[in-house]
Amino acid sequence: MSQPTSTSATDPTVITITTYEEAKDAYRQKSLRQALYDAGEVVMGDVLVNLHAAEHRDRRRLENRLFRRETFELYERHLFPPIIEATLAPDIEAGRAELVDLGHRMMMNLAALTAGIDRPLGTADETRHLYRYLMLFIEGATLAHFTGDQDAKRDEIANELHKFDTEFVTPSLERRAAMLEAGSELPKDVLSVLLANEDSLSLPHDVIVREVAFYLLAGAHTSATAFTRVSHNVLKWLDAHPEDADLVRTDRLFVQRCTHETIRLQPSSPVAMRWALDDIELKSGTHIPRGAKVVIDLLSVNRDPDVFGEGADDFDPHRKTPDGVPAYGLSFGSGMHACIGQDLAAGLLFHEGSTMDDHIFGLVPEAVQLLFDAGVRIDPDDSPEMDESTTRPYFGRYPVLLEAVTA
């Protein structure tokens, strides 16, 4: 049952949801509006995840056209592998890597491709430059938590967004507009979808810039964090379960299962938040008064023992979840704002009738698999460190050796 709390007469009532079934029900409620990015308008104003009702439905419907199986196949089989391999190649050559930095560069490049941000130079320096923008946009989206001068930060980010537009978005838009004019097929990315549907969407240029910036941060940071955490969990699991050592080489679904289990236990965003636009009664009987803030506590929801069993807190890639419950729990959300990129990031479920050749594994499992193919192991002389600059459990440095055993 959810816990209502109220801190003072002026603060809103806060309802915290900690069980799986209540969370599913809350995600379904049309009178609950996004609340996570309230102070982050500078980057998040009018972007998909912040829209509500018909405005959200119309834009989501158009962007959904990109996120379907044929695009996943194109990305996973043709567009992503050369990027992943090129990013990893110098590390394989050197026999060592630092996973936090590697993951961010790799996922940044993949997210830029999905968003439709052209990379005229394609160099590592350009990736770092784009990555700097990305980190600023994340600060912008989460401005509510910024402890310094928020107004000054907001101005700085607005300026940087403008530079990002001039350097990246406008040239990418112009290239696609010329292709459209010439009758050529547009690349499969978010910017192309927005351009091709300009008439029905009527989005001002600044909204297009923010939507693209949002796709960059929605796709890159989440996947990069998952990349390091999954690699860590697989390494630790194999350490404790040597009997599974072969699985990482012989069963390509193993790393995908480890990815889902990692994302369940360590969701990229530990909470979802919504404002109640109306009085709401959940099926459980919980009453949410109009004006209340609803906090969906994903760390608890995804460890709900009624759904995930008594060992729900433990990492176990062999875990079986009940029918209809995704192995990654609700870490990709649910309902109208359910993550549009979840199949791209974590792949599809392996159904009866699927084959290894037609299965979509997801870009995080694919990238982690390549690490294991390259013989990844923890560097015994250089231990991983946590990121001390945040209270969130992120790795700050994760040095590894890459020593493929050639048979």
Closer of 220 and 376 to ligand HEM (Cβ): 220
* Three-state secondary-structure class, residue 288: strand
**What is d(CA 224, CA 229) in angstroms, rounded to the nearest whole number?**
9
Nearest to 325 by CA among 23, 17, 2: 23
Decide whether 71 or 401 has the Cβ nearer to ligand HEM: 71
What is the pattern of x (binds ligand HEM, CB under 6 A) and - over residues 11-50? -----------------------x-x-----------xx-
Q: Which residues contact 279 (CB under 8 A, 6 or more apart)?
A: 287, 288, 289, 290
Q: What are phi and psi of 27, to 5 degrees?
A: -60, -25
Which of 66, 76, 360 minimizes the C-alpha distance to 211?
A: 66
Residue 172 as a binder of ligand HEM (CB under 6 A): the answer is no
Q: By CB under 6 A, how many residues form the interface with ligand HEM?
A: 26
Residue 29 DSSP SS3: coil
Q: Does residue 341 touch ligand HEM according to CB under 6 A?
A: yes
> Around 289, how many Cα atoms within 13 Å sit in the side-chain half-sphere?
9
β 399-402/376-378 pair status: antiparallel
User: Which CB, 367 or 374, lies closer to ligand HEM?
Assistant: 367
Q: Looking at the chain, how many residues does it have? A: 407
By rule CB under 6 A, what string of x and - marks binding of each residue 112-141 to ligand HEM? --x---------------------------
For residue 215, state whether it binds ligand HEM (rule: CB under 6 A). yes
CB 46, CB 207: distance < 8 Å: yes
Residue nearest to ligand HEM (CB): 341
Query: Of the listed pieces 75-83, 85-93, 193-201, 329-337, which binds ligand HEM according to CB under 6 A?
Result: 329-337
Least separation in angstroms between residue 256's CB and ligand HEM is 12
Backbone angles phi, psi at 55, to 5 degrees: -60, -45
Interface with ligand HEM includes 332 (CB under 6 A)? yes
Binding part of the chain for ligand HEM, among 94-102, 283-291, 302-310, 340-348 by CB under 6 A, reads 340-348
If binding is defined by CB under 6 A, does position 213 make contact with ligand HEM? no
Interacting residues with ligand HEM (CB under 6 A): 34, 36, 48-49, 60, 114, 215, 218-219, 222-223, 226, 263, 268-269, 272, 331-333, 337, 339-341, 344-345, 364
